[in-house]
Amino acid sequence: MEESVVIFLLRDKKFLLQLRDNKPSITFPNFWGLLGGHKEIGESPLEAIKRELSEEIDSPVKAITFIGTAKTVITLTTKSWTEKIFFFKGSIDAPLDNIQLFEGQKLGYFTFEEVMALDMPDILKKILLKHKNQIFS
């Protein structure tokens, strides 16, 4: 089973999301998503999310807290697999203009209501709905 990590990053009760690249070879191309990625063999989920954050943005993240896991089936045109997702929450102080993005098309801050209306993977919306109180606490 594949494993990945994602983080709900909050600034003033708004989520920092990344518009994923529009490449057919990646999962959920051109969708809004959370920062994160694949967990490497031998890496703890916390090590993985810290590495992924450093690979994707150049801004410090505070108070990284593990929330839970979820499983989902991912399907690309050529294959399908089950993915275990470790999800975290954290806080970020930087305005968008002060964050350099290394992967993806762009970043944005969104309210909970705005997130629910975006083109975003259903599994992330389900996790957000299920753990909303924990994420905002």
- Domain of 111, in residue numbers: 2-136
Whether the predicted pLDDT of 42 surpasses 90: yes
Is 7 a residue whose pLDDT tops 90?
A: yes
Residue 76: per-residue pLDDT: 60
Element of type H or E holding 134? helix 132-136
- Between 76 and 89, whose confidence is greater? 89
> Quick one: average pLDDT of 38-55?
95
Please determine, for residue 8, whether its predicted confidence score (pLDDT) is greater than 90: yes
Locate 39 and state its tokens.
């967990």
Q: What is the CATH number of the domain that holds 58?
A: 3.90.79.10
Question: Is the pLDDT confidence value at 86 over 90?
Answer: yes
For residue 16, pLDDT over 80 is answered with yes
Sign of CA dihedral 125, 127, 130, 133: negative
Rounded to two decimals, the pTM is 0.88
Count up the domains in the chain and report the number: 1
Alpha-carbon gap, residue 17 to 4, rounded angstroms: 17
The whole-chain average pLDDT of the chain stands at: 90
pLDDT of 96 reads 93
Cβ proximity of 29 and 7 under 8 Å? no
